[in-house]
A and B are shown apart, each in its own frame.
Chain A
């Protein structure tokens, strides 16, 4: 059983400002296009230094009365954590954004900074979200992840709760096994 994550901010190494994928319309337009058509003015974007932040006012989570706000942060550069090392796990930063929703909820699959662990970066591409698939697909994954969290807590949480989505082994468990 995994110990639920505690909140901690990763270290970000800041290179000089300059063009990056988040400033490139050829990358951003396809990323946003379907999400903009689907969510309209409920989708907000804000570019700050070397972060591109999206906020969706609310994603529909089945079994909840109210929509849940979602925040997605794309980082210009790979992030580094003293304990885990490369927080992009070798993926392009555009394919591994930080995704936050339902802040502070007890979960089996969250990052140390409370981000949702939606997919395993070591999995093959067809089992990961990639920027080319668009933000709308990412928000769908968030909705399903939050249902899985709700069900996990309902069914016992840390005392044997059921995680209904497919799961990848945890990195720490891998290291300990080795």
Chain B
């Protein structure tokens, strides 16, 4: 291959680029420490309010796939209800949510004086606004606290849905994710980070974080490179969503829906799979700058994965087209069919 463009030495592989990008978006240890400190403070307040309760953690902090900046945490309290006063057909969640909110206010005010805790109008969680960003300039740090009760005789919990209850199994979700982390020797959370970042940088994120993980639970079965993981996930996710909504991995709650039309999400996933495959093909053929460019465009965030210089991209694309034209001419002269249905071997012209 010849190109007039100057290439960095050594040329980073797609896997190298993904590794570098992953480190740029990875949560830092100080952020994790701060998030755990705040989460533990909430958990302590809830334990004091609901003796005998069970605290569970989920979300990105519990699942090991948090991105920087880490500005929210998720946890739940399973309130003992031996008399079965609460639940479908019984009392709604509001009374327990108000108690949780008051306990958090009382317990955390000495540490976070400007704290706000919201219950009114919330669909599921009690929202804790710390009003104390971890670093200046970052968004406020928040916590989503689920006040749940056990579902007697059946797997999972009842979690709030406004004034009533829904079935869910958040503890099982975290167990499944932790098992996947072990099974894949941490490929799982690393790839999830990249995928969450990909989704967040589209105009409208096509999938929520949990949906990304639920799909990954089905297709990440062993340790793998990041490139393979992304290729497998995009392909699997497009095919799976083309069939229907994603079932709850715990087989308790309803299927997971997409925020926009499923058809549009499938289209975006298929486009991403195609773009990644193009990057892989270009790298295999030795067009490293073009491969880099395709990967960078897939993520669309120059801070996470900078694009190569445009002049270098243009020069390598010109070299690729030049080489292909020579090949097309050679084939045409030898009467071998040129081009294909996917790309006719055209000749530019003018009248």
A residues sitting closer than 8 Å to B (CB atoms) are 2, 5, 37-38, 40-41, 60, 62-65, 84, 87, 108-112, 117-120, 123, 126-130, 133, 137, 140-141, 144-145, 147-148, 150-151, 154, 162-172
Contacts and interface: CB of A to CB of B under 8 A. Distances in A.
A152 to B, nearest CB: 9
Contact of A163 (B274, B332, B348): B348
18 contacts: A40-B264, A62-B293, A62-B314, A62-B317, A118-B346, A120-B347, A120-B349, A123-B346, A127-B347, A133-B344, A137-B343, A141-B343, A147-B314, A148-B348, A151-B317, A164-B319, A166-B328, A167-B347
A123 B329 CA distance: 13
A65 B339 contact: no
Given A60-B297, A126-B337, A126-B339, A168 B321 contact: no
B217 interface: no
Main SS at interface, chain B: helix
B347 A119 contact: yes
Given A62-B290, A145-B348, A127 B314 contact: no
B345 interface: yes
Contacts of B338: 126-127
Contacts of B332: 127
Contact of A144 (B267, B268, B321): B321
Contacts of B304: none
A142 to B, nearest CB: 11
Contacts of B271: 38
Contacts of A87: 351
A68 to B, nearest CB: 13
Question: Is the contact region of chain A dominated by helix, strand, or loop, or is it mixed?
Answer: loop
Nearest to B264: A40
B152 to A, nearest CB: 47
B270 A37 contact: yes
A141 B346 contact: yes
Interface string B62-97: 000000000000000000000000000000000000
B344 A109 contact: no
Contacts of A162: 318, 322
A128 B348 contact: no
B266 to A, nearest CB: 8
A87 B347 CA distance: 17
Contacts of A165: 321, 325, 346-348
B1 interface: no
A117 B321 contact: no
Contacts of B351: 84, 87, 111-112, 117, 170-172
B6 interface: no
Given A41-B264, A84-B351, A117-B351, 18 more contacts: A60-B297, A62-B290, A62-B313, A62-B317, A63-B311, A117-B348, A117-B350, A119-B347, A120-B347, A126-B339, A126-B344, A127-B338, A141-B343, A151-B315, A151-B318, A164-B318, A166-B347, A171-B350
B111 interface: no
A120 B345 CA distance: 11
A1 to B, nearest CB: 11
